[in-house]
Amino acid sequence: MPRSTARLLAPLLAAGLIATLSACGGDKAKDPDPSSSTSATESAAAAPMKDGTVEGVTVKGEQGETPKITWAKEGVTATDPVRQVLTKGDGETVQKDDKVFVQLWVGNGTKKKEAYSSYTGAPQLVTASTTQTLAVLADAIIDQPVGSRLLVAQSVSGAFGESGQADIGLKPDDTAVLVIDITGKLLDGPKGAKQDPAAWAPKVEASGDIPTALDFSDTPKPSGDFEITTLIKGKGPKLQKGDHVYVNYLGQVYDGKEPFDQSYNRGTPFDFDLGGGSVIKGWDQGLVGVTVGSRVILQVPPDWGYGKKGNGSAGIAGTDTLYFVVDVLGAS
């Protein structure tokens, strides 16, 4: 509902490879008889990831930047997954089922060439679970702190399934080499210091920590200007134009009896490109500078919302001032 136009398709995940990694790839989903094939997840389960040294490749560069790769003459040969920690981060440790932002580089260790890189774009969101993400990636990041750079090697058939990943030149008998940068975690709620709200802000009704409605009984009439006040001050980075942002929110018109829209009960955050014109101006401009982890209230006048036409399907008139509770959970 905060979009100024119809909900846009989520950005394609890193040219399709991260989508493959996040969909628990391999042959199992394609084979009508699962018992006749070995999936990448099953292969990894049979061969747990071990920590060690990946021989045959040297990785240089800072965490978060495109890695610089140098191959030894013999290249890289690996069957079972091995993980080498190149940089140990100092952030929160990734736990099973956490949603994590990563950058990923994939190489063919047999042919000594790059196969894929996500570093030309923003970090992508994956789940640290072998039931939702390809095991070679999920197993690599679990129990590792944010800020880490990891080097992983495994046979292509073990990492991607018996068919390999032909679209990026990885044949089943080749060795896959991955450089993984863990750049952040998606929060499951606001995290920071509580702040006193501004006098214009309505009271937030909640069930536990989850907002359910806004109470306007002691709220003054809207000022006609855009306003923002902070309820929880997050310690994360400030949102900037161009960030891909993940939030939970609740929206209600001034003096409305119930919300016209909210995301808290959907089980997944709402995501959008900040400053890209896909959401109302009150969000596109108003959320710039808010820190990740924050909970804020926005007062959005009509010209920063849906304009004179309003939004009839949501019961919003062209004269309505909108109020939003927004939890900023992450950005990439």
* Phi-psi label, residue 217: left if phi above 0, alpha if psi -120 to 50, beta otherwise: alpha
Beta strands in 49-98 (DSSP E): 50-51, 57-60, 68-71, 82-87
- The single residue of 116, 254, 306, 323 carrying the catalytic annotation is 306
Of residues 19, 20, 24, 12, the one with CA closest to residue 133: 24
CB contact at 8 A, 78 and 60: no
- The single residue of 280, 297, 316, 323 carrying the catalytic annotation is 280
- The single residue of 80, 260, 271, 273 carrying the catalytic annotation is 260
Alpha-carbon span 138 to 131, nearest angstrom = 9
CA angle 160-166-170, nearest 5°? Answer: 60
- The single residue of 80, 255, 261, 273 carrying the catalytic annotation is 261
Show the tokens assigned to 152. Answer: 């992983």
- The single residue of 249, 254, 264, 323 carrying the catalytic annotation is 249
Helix/strand/coil percent split, the chain, to 5: 15, 35, 50
Of residues 269, 22, 40, 268, the one with CA closest to residue 126: 22
Show the tokens assigned to 59. Answer: 């990785």
- The single residue of 116, 320, 324, 327 carrying the catalytic annotation is 324
Is position 249 annotated as part of the catalytic site? yes
Alpha-carbon span 282 to 311, nearest angstrom = 15
Is position 324 annotated as part of the catalytic site? yes
Q: Output the DSSP codes for 95-139.
A: PTT-EEEEEEEEEETTTTEEEEE-TTS--EEEES-TTTS-HHHHH
Is position 260 annotated as part of the catalytic site? yes
Burial string for 210-238 (b: 16+ CB within 10 Å, else e) reads: ebbbbebeebeebeeebbbebbbbbebee
Alpha-carbon span 104 to 117, nearest angstrom = 6
Is position 306 annotated as part of the catalytic site? yes
Positions marked catalytic: 249, 260-261, 280, 306, 324
